[in-house]
Structure 1
């Protein structure tokens, strides 16, 4: 199996250069903090729309997810971050269950998990928080056996940050952790006006740009590179063929970037104008998301959406 350091260098040596298959690189502690700022930007409708869906429908979501009023319920979340929006669903779950509920937040950031646990312990003391520090894209996460219904939450339209193949692998692993009758709550950003989609990832305060530059800072700090961030600029692009907003960093000049690690010294060459695709943010049609869920063993039971139908929150079941 290729080491992480070699995979990064290989991805940066390719033409075109592409780190979108390594989206977990964004979510070190600093990246997780920056992402929490992204969701507060005016242009980032995703979080506001998703939160509004939860506020209006949380009771219905929980009841439908449980499937049977006699079912006990527990909740796990992939890429939970600080679990700000999840609190809305956890409150509804406490009301449904009329007693304590177990919540498994799964995230790569210890800082975000600590903040989530501290906040939930204070605001919702009947929620038993059992965090797992895991990269759910590359690492196995394990849910202990449970006599009741498990609801796995994968929100924040995070499914769109993975390639279609990677998304299949993530959902397949979720499927393997669940038993028949358990449920998945998935939020998806749908295909719509490209100008709106582009502005979502190009806020006037430059927070999304900083999120991408943080990857270069991490490569310098942890993997031995010497990127000069001043010699790159942020450039989001709408790729209609892929239905994706590609978030690029473009070299402003012809330059060399060195990497010194345990494998020795290596050099990357950048032409002026050459880019690194840092991450793809895929958008879906309902037909595409239905096919993805069916391939991985889930059946859609219900969909909630915002007034524009830009965000779909989908309840699917393992049958």
Structure 2
């Protein structure tokens, strides 16, 4: 099995150049901070639509997720960040349960987890927070046993940012952690107006571009590269054939990028105009996401969406044990 450093170099030295199968690289502390700012941009409708859906339907979501009014409930969240949207559901869960509720946020950023705990102490003081500092895409996180229903939240349309293989692995890992009757709450972005889609990843303030450039900064700091960030520009592209927004960093000149690590010195060559595919954001049809969830062992029970039907919040359940 290749190390992370080997995967990075392979992605940068290949043709085409791509780091899209390592999307978790975006979420160091600085990247997590920038990501929170993306949700505040005028063009990024995703965060607003999710927030509105939770405001309108949080009570219904919690009742349907619990499945039985006698069930105790706990909430687990993959890639929780600062848990701003999640606080709405946690408040609804407290009302449903009539008492304390366990919340297990899993995130790679200790700063984001700390901020989530401080925020929830004020917004939902009866929530018992049990954070895990883990990369849910690569680390073998473990959920403690629980006598009740577990709801795993995977929101922020994050599944669309994963490669097909990574998305399958994430869902299968969730399935393996759950009991029959437990549930998954998943958000996806539908395939709709390309102008709106592309604009969401190309804000006028350049925040999404900064999010991508921060990956190069992380490669310099943690993996021994010497990228000059001023020699790259952010370039998003809508690919209608694959239904995804492809986010690239384009080299502004012919350049040699060196990497010095434990294996020695290596060089990545970029011609002027070369693109590094940093991350893809896939837009799903209901048929596509149904197949993906079914293949992982989940059955869709309910879907909530915004007024445009751009964002879908999907409740799926584990109904049987794998053969």
TM-score interval (norm. to shorter): over 0.9
Q: Does 1:5 align with 2:13?
A: no
Report what 1:160 is aligned to.
160
Shift of 1:122: 2.4
Distance (whole Å) between structure 1 residues aligned to residue 31 and residue 291 of structure 2:
32
Distance (whole Å) between structure 1 residues aligned to residue 295 and residue 101 of structure 2:
31
Structure 2: gaps (5+ residues): none
Shift of 1:87: 0.2
Q: Does 1:288 align with 2:281?
A: no
Shift of 1:56: 0.2
Secondary structure of the residue aligned to 2:90 is helix
Report what 2:179 is aligned to.
179
| 1:85-100 map, 5 Å | 85-100=85-100
| 1:7-86 map, 5 Å | 7-86=7-86
Structure 1: gaps (5+ residues): none
Count of residue pairs brought into register by the alignment: 319
Report what 1:103 is aligned to.
103
Moved more, 161-170 or 303-312: 161-170
Distance (whole Å) between structure 2 residues aligned to residue 122 and residue 285 of structure 1:
38
Distance (whole Å) between structure 2 residues aligned to residue 28 and residue 74 of structure 1:
27
Secondary structure of the residue aligned to 2:279 is strand
Distance (whole Å) between structure 2 residues aligned to residue 3 and residue 289 of structure 1:
30
Cα deviation, 1:161-212, whole Å, max 9, x if unaligned, reads 1011211110110000000100000000010011111000000000000000
Distance (whole Å) between structure 2 residues aligned to residue 255 and residue 144 of structure 1:
49
Instruction: Give runs of ≥4 in structure 1 deviating > 2 Å.
Output: none
Shift of 1:7: 1.1
TM-score, normalization: structure 2?
Answer: 0.98
Q: Does 1:122 align with 2:112?
A: no
Distance (whole Å) between structure 2 residues aligned to residue 267 and residue 143 of structure 1:
42
Cα deviation, 1:61-115, whole Å, max 9, x if unaligned, reads 0000000000000000000000000000000000000000000000000000011
TM-score, normalization: structure 1?
Answer: 0.99
Secondary structure of the residue aligned to 1:112 is helix
| 1:188-227 map, 5 Å | 188-227=188-227
Report what 2:272 is aligned to.
272
RMSD: 0.6
